[in-house]
């Protein structure tokens, strides 16, 4: 049952709870959402709210964003900022793992240091990165592995993101390989490790207070990786990694190290906490499994960096907040992307996925960018309609109605839906 009454009921519940929570610790927001009525998230006609629950909070250099937690800082981008291919810096989501994050970086003292299996370990100032290397730009989607985790059935622990733990930007910086080459990467280097400036506190910090991520030295994604110092043509906002961050087009954001300051060439596989057990997916097709299979203890795991981001598409408008009018043309629009290369097709359904029409694609900003789409729709009848959108990427991957399940709450890419009401006229 997913009629308008139930939808209203859910919204009222959430609204009341959100108001009550405004003055309470952010952690409560997560547990409150976990108590939202389960039916709201299931079934083909389901119409979950698009974002996390909030509250809206303003941080430095940011518009009001939906706060999931404050220590570490986790802020979700509201739906309306996805109308354009590029997400504004001041609306771009924020995710940290550690509670102590930099408020300022002294560029006179800051260096990017390369150590480990290099011929000549070296340090670069921001000035050197900007002037001693050729600058490149790439449009790429930064998406948290746990984006849309709140859709998982059964629910899984972790930040209960709606769809707003993602954003697309034009990243400008220097090629990782150019920087590695300057230090002379040695043959025996098998993994490259990245670390920023944020730190943990307290004895119970399971990760020794340092967020470190590694990719295999020969991973193809590193051929396109950029150490970025501009985001949409501006210095990076502090919360998005000032002064430089890793950009790994096609890979989940967990490898996009912010405040990148340490690059280490390792001669062994990295098994620090953030590589194992954190951020791992089942070694099954599509990273898909079941709670029962997990309980059997027989499911192996691999780092989430083993895979590229699955193809996804989103309905931004209409958002169901206002009725449409019979005989009046509305624009169904949103964004799509894939970590496997360009989105080649976006299809829209106005009958809950029974029939599909090809949408018009917006400007092509490159294979790792958001691609906007739009589809004019003139409802010929009044009533309740369920819209759906699905994308196909260059590799032939197409979204389905199957909701992935794994204990980390990663890799969600089920077909998105939106219920709308059409008034007669």
The binding site for ligand MTE (CB under 6 A) comprises 92-97, 142, 144, 196, 198, 211, 240-241, 253-254, 256-259
Rounded Cα distance between 419 and 3, Å, is: 9
What is the closest distance, in whole angstroms, from the C-beta atom of residue 424 to ligand MTE in the complex?
Answer: 44
Q: Is 94 in the site for Mo ion (CB under 5 A)?
A: no
The residues, any chain, with a CB within 8 Å of residue 109's CB and separated by 6 or more, are none
Chain position whose Cβ is nearest to ligand MTE: 196
Rounded Cα distance between 118 and 189, Å, is: 8
Rank residues 51 and 386 by Cβ distance to Mo ion and give the closer one.
Answer: 51
What is the closest distance, in whole angstroms, from the C-beta atom of residue 253 to Mo ion in the complex?
Answer: 5
Rank residues 304 and 311 by Cβ distance to ligand MTE and give the closer one.
Answer: 304
Among 65, 73, 75, 144, binds Mo ion (CB under 5 A): 144
What is the closest distance, in whole angstroms, from the C-beta atom of residue 74 to ligand MTE in the complex?
Answer: 8
What is the closest distance, in whole angstroms, from the C-beta atom of residue 93 to Mo ion in the complex?
Answer: 9
- Under rule CB under 5 A, how many of the chain's residues touch Mo ion? 4
Cβ pair 328, 383 in contact under 8 A: no
Rank residues 124 and 211 by Cβ distance to ligand MTE and give the closer one.
Answer: 211
Cβ pair 408, 281 in contact under 8 A: yes
What is the closest distance, in whole angstroms, from the C-beta atom of residue 260 to ligand MTE in the complex?
Answer: 7
- The total of other beta-carbon atoms located within 10 Å of residue 320's CB is 18
What is the closest distance, in whole angstroms, from the C-beta atom of residue 211 to ligand MTE in the complex?
Answer: 4
What is the closest distance, in whole angstroms, from the C-beta atom of residue 16 to ligand MTE in the complex?
Answer: 30
Interaction partner, residue 81 (ligand MTE, Mo ion, none; CB < 5-8 Å by kind): none
Rank residues 141 and 343 by Cβ distance to ligand MTE and give the closer one.
Answer: 141
- The total of other beta-carbon atoms located within 10 Å of residue 326's CB is 15
Interaction partner, residue 280 (ligand MTE, Mo ion, none; CB < 5-8 Å by kind): none
Interaction partner, residue 77 (Mo ion, ligand MTE, none; CB < 5-8 Å by kind): none
Rounded Cα distance between 361 and 347, Å, is: 10
Residues forming contacts to Mo ion in the complex (CB under 5 A) are 95, 144, 253-254
């Amino acid at each position: 049952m997913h009629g308008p009454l139930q939808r209203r009921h859910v919204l009222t519940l959430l609204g009341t709870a959100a108001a009550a929570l405004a003055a309470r610790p952010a952690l409560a927001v997560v547990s409150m959402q976990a108590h939202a009525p389960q039916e709201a998230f299931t079934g083909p006609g389901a119409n979950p709210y698009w974002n996390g629950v909030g509250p809206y909070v303003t941080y430095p250099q940011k518009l009001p964003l939906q706060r999931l937690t404050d220590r570490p800082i986790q802020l979700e981008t509201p739906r309306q900022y996805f109308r354009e291919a590029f997400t504004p810096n001041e609306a771009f989501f924020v995710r940290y793992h550690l509670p102590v994050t930099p408020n300022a970086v002294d560029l006179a003292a800051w260096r990017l240091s390369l150590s480990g299996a290099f011929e000549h370990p070296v340090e670069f100032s921001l000035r050197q990165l900007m002037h001693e290397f050729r600058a490149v730009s790439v449009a790429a989607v930064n998406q948290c592995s746990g984006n849309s985790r709140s859709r998982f059935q059964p629910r899984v622990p972790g930040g209960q993101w709606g769809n707003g733990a993602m954003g697309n930007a034009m990243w400008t910086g220097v090629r990782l390989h150019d920087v590695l080459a300057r230090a002379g990467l040695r043959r025996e280097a098998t993994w490259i490790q990245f670390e920023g400036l944020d730190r943990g506190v307290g004895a119970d910090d399971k990760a020794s207070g340092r967020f470190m991520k590694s990719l295999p030295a020969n991973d193809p994604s590193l051929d396109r990786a950029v150490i970025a110092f501009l985001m949409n043509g501006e210095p990076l906002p502090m919360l998005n990694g000032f002064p430089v961050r890793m950009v790994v087009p096609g890979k989940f954001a967990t490898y996009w190290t912010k405040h990148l300051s340490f690059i280490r060439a390792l001669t062994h596989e990295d098994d620090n906490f953030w590589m194992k057990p954190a951020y791992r997916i089942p070694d099954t097709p599509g990273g898909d499994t079941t709670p029962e299979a997990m309980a059997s203890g027989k499911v192996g795991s691999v780092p989430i960096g083993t895979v590229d981001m699955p193809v996804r598409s989103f309905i931004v408008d209409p958002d169901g907040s206002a009725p449409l009018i019979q005989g009046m043309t509305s624009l169904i629009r949103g964004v799509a992307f894939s970590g496997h290369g360009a989105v080649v097709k976006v299809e829209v359904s106005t009958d809950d996925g029974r029939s599909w029409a090809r949408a018009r694609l917006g400007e092509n900003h490159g294979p790792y960018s958001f691609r906007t789409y739009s589809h004019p729709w003139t409802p010929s009848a009044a009533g309740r309609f369920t819209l759906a959108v699905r994308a196909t990427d260059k590799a032939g991957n197409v979204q389905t109605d199957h909701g992935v399940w794994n204990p980390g709450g990663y890799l969600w890419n089920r077909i998105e839906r939106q219920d709308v009401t059409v008034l007669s006229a």
